[in-house]
Structure 1
Amino acid sequence: MTTPLAVSVLDLLPVRTNQSSADAFAAARSLARVAEDAGCTRYWVAEHHNTESVASTNPPVLIAMLAGVTERIRVGSGGVMLPNHAPLVVAEQFAALQAAYPDRIDLGIGRAPGTDPVTTWALRNGAGDEEIVRNFPHYVQQVMAYMSPEGARVQVAGRTFDIRATPRAAEAPPVWLLGSSDYSARLAAQLGLPYVFAHHFSGHGTEEALRLYREGYAGEGKPRTFLTVNAIVADTEEEARELSLPFQYQMACLRTGKPLVSMLTVEEARVTEWPLSDTGLAQLTASWFVGTPDRVAEGIRSLAREHDVDEVMIQPVAGAYASEPADRDLARERTVRELTERLRVD
């Protein structure tokens, strides 16, 4: 018997050359409904800023939009970049979401800026990075305290005040720590929080990060974690590789410092000059799962067994052809639908 896996989705809301931001939002709503109908566990949106190819700039707003067009699937952030925001503001946003959509909201928190240095400066109103990053563990604990039904007590000018993110919270949404380094694994273990290592970034360091997290876990019950993967499925290996070209091009630009443009269509990616060699591209996408549905599903299942997880979060990195509707991402929808169907079957 094959052990079924829980399947979830990570979405950066890609914006391609023939789409507006409104089109990208419509495509995300469609993809979220596909994920729910397929039986996915959760649907998370990332936080990135000032990037032509990414419409996922404001997770709380997007979560409200996506939770409003679905009924059962958990919707959350993958993640909110906490150094960009006041802890109380994040707590207020997610306490409100939890009240509006009980037991359906996840707050995933990360430490990276999610953008370039100039935009980071604008987000933080010129505040220095060093102090914010140094106080990150305290800020995480502040968010959790403010969201709790009891709220937090703070000392200001020798007096004690109560602060609550929402007047009468019934419960707080679960907080997950996200990261791509040992730091986040150790902090999640220390705070007893569920943890996700960004395996989809490069595929390196996952085993060590999960070991540190599991061995150091100081919370109640068992440590909770899952894997993130980049995946594309199509009828043939050749078609799947072709669909991967637009996302590959974005990653190549990111790694080489070339300016990021709107996501290319497949046709545009075929004829565009690339900033990386074939060898460099192969290294960049070595951890991606690209191919036919059965083959990709088996590869993901094998990875889950290797790292002893029972949930995988798929970032569907399939591009689109120019003739496809602007308000849909058909190949991304198919990737989610077919992989969920295969991975959840026992």
Structure 2
Amino acid sequence: MTPRLSVLDLVPVRSDQSSADAVAASVSLARVADDLGYHRYWVAEHHNMPAVAATNPPVMIALLAARTSRIRVGSGGVMLPNHAPLVVAEQFALLEAAFPGRIDLGIGRAPGSDPVTSFALRHGAGGVDDQAVARFPEYVENVRAMLEPGGVGLTVQGRTHPLRATPEAGSTPPVWLLGSSDYSAQLAAQLGLPYVFAHHFSGQGTEQALALYRDGFRASDAASVPTTFLTANVVVAETEEEAERLALPQLQQMVSLRTGGPLSPQRLVEDAETVGISAEHEGLVRAMRERWYVGTPDRVAAELGGLAERFGVDEVMVNPVASAVRGTDLASAPAREETLRLLAKAS
């Protein structure tokens, strides 16, 4: 089968880039995805990480939606325990008003950062870590209710006050639940929400999570049937050798992340080749690489089709993780753009 294609973007920062360069490169990437017919373009939320500039999804969504014309733009996702539900509802109600029918609100429960940064975020959102995570289902429902045109009624001292995310909503963005565990799958099924399992990050437990979601799904106004797609780390190039070269910097970053090593901006390809992979981490790299889709256009397109067929989905969201060679224009990500172009042509 040939699945519909979408894009996930963490707004990576290379060792030769500033944050401004990384944002400009993502704007260019989104425009390429828009022109090629990709269905949606989601940006993640991560904080205090040297290689990731996607700290504020609503701001990035506004930038990207303003520079594209057709593609759906959304969050993959907003880490709701970091924020007051009303703030999230207001942000996405305003985005939907500005770009009606093109906004997705993907919501997650993970911290998206280190414990210290998470505490700083969540303390500012009105609670401490344990409270914010424990109240996640309540927060999700609050956001959904406040996005509705009628809003919600907030009772204070015996009086009910109307609370709306925006004064006159003409439409509301669809809400998706995101997760990498059984918890979010079960909650999405219970609430009748569309759901996405973080297959690109975990690579394990996908089948069980989707089965829990589909088996326990309760139809709702948000979705009449289980609605889901898969995410995948992807690098496509004209040759297998070039694709593997371009994937190496991100593989090295994931090794550091998984082993507690020092995090740094994404290396350029030449620098990554100089560093290489240590013998003690070769097994970890092989295990991760087996779950990535790296290679020539026809082969990767066929493998993504097989992934979609295996898990019974009609959409795959690709995270183009290719780095760049020395001398690349700082405000661009040519290898990431080429991944999208070659994959679209082969699909």
State whether structure 2 residue 195 is matched by structure 1 residue 195.
Answer: yes
Question: Contact 1:41/1:73 (CA < 8 Å) preserved in 2?
Answer: yes
Deviation (angstroms), 1:239: 1.1
| Partner deviation per Cα, 1:128-170 (whole Å, 9 max, x = no partner) | 2111111100100000111100101112222211100000001
Residue 2 of structure 2: aligned partner: 4
Q: Pick from 49, 52, 60 the counterpart of residue 50 of structure 2.
A: 52
Ranges in structure 2 where 5+ consecutive residues have no aligned partner: none
Deviation (angstroms), 1:37: 0.7
Residue 118 of structure 2: aligned partner: 120
State whether structure 2 residue 150 is matched by structure 1 residue 146.
Answer: no
Residue 223 of structure 1: aligned partner: 226
- Supply the distance in 2 between the matched residues of 1:131 and 1:274 (Cα, whole angstroms): 40
- Supply the distance in 2 between the matched residues of 1:342 and 1:178 (Cα, whole angstroms): 28
The 3-state SS of whatever aligns with 1:30 is helix
Residue 60 of structure 2: aligned partner: 62
Question: Contact 2:250/2:323 (CA < 8 Å) preserved in 1?
Answer: yes
Deviation (angstroms), 1:227: 0.5
State whether structure 2 residue 290 is matched by structure 1 residue 292.
Answer: no
Residue 71 of structure 2: aligned partner: 73
Q: Quick check: 280-289 or 305-314, which moved more? A: 280-289
User: TM (normalized to structure 2)?
Assistant: 0.96
Q: Quick check: 193-202 or 151-160, which moved more? A: 151-160
Q: Pick from 30, 43, 47 the counterpart of residue 32 of structure 1.
A: 30
Deviation (angstroms), 1:89: 0.1
- Supply the distance in 2 between the matched residues of 1:271 and 1:306 (Cα, whole angstroms): 38
The 3-state SS of whatever aligns with 1:306 is helix
Residue 342 of structure 1: aligned partner: 346
Aligned length: 341
State whether structure 2 residue 107 is matched by structure 1 residue 109.
Answer: yes
State whether structure 2 residue 186 is matched by structure 1 residue 183.
Answer: no
Question: Contact 1:247/1:263 (CA < 8 Å) preserved in 2?
Answer: yes
Deviation (angstroms), 1:273: 5.7
Q: Pick from 218, 243, 252 the counterpart of residue 255 of structure 2.
A: 252
Identity, % of aligned pairs?
A: 60
Question: Contact 2:122/2:132 (CA < 8 Å) preserved in 1?
Answer: no
Q: Pick from 279, 302, 309 the counterpart of residue 306 of structure 2.
A: 302
User: TM (normalized to structure 1)?
Assistant: 0.96
Question: Contact 1:73/1:104 (CA < 8 Å) preserved in 2?
Answer: yes
Residue 264 of structure 2: aligned partner: 261
| Partner deviation per Cα, 1:16-40 (whole Å, 9 max, x = no partner) | 0111111101100110010011100
Question: Contact 2:180/2:202 (CA < 8 Å) preserved in 1?
Answer: no
| Partner deviation per Cα, 1:277-306 (whole Å, 9 max, x = no partner) | 212210122200011110011011001000
Residues 211 and 169 (structure 1), Cα distance of their counterparts in 2 relative to 1, 3 Å cut: same
Q: Quick check: 280-289 or 23-32, which moved more? A: 280-289
- Supply the distance in 2 between the matched residues of 1:322 and 1:97 (Cα, whole angstroms): 37
- Supply the distance in 1 between the matched residues of 2:157 and 2:136 (Cα, whole angstroms): 23
Aligned-partner residue type, residue 283 of structure 1: A
Residue 330 of structure 2: aligned partner: 326
Residue 41 of structure 1: aligned partner: 39
Which portions of structure 1, spanning 4 or more consecutive aligned residues, are displaced by more than 4 angstroms? Answer: 273-276
The 3-state SS of whatever aligns with 1:199 is coil
- Supply the distance in 2 between the matched residues of 1:51 and 1:91 (Cα, whole angstroms): 26
- Supply the distance in 1 between the matched residues of 2:88 and 2:277 (Cα, whole angstroms): 39
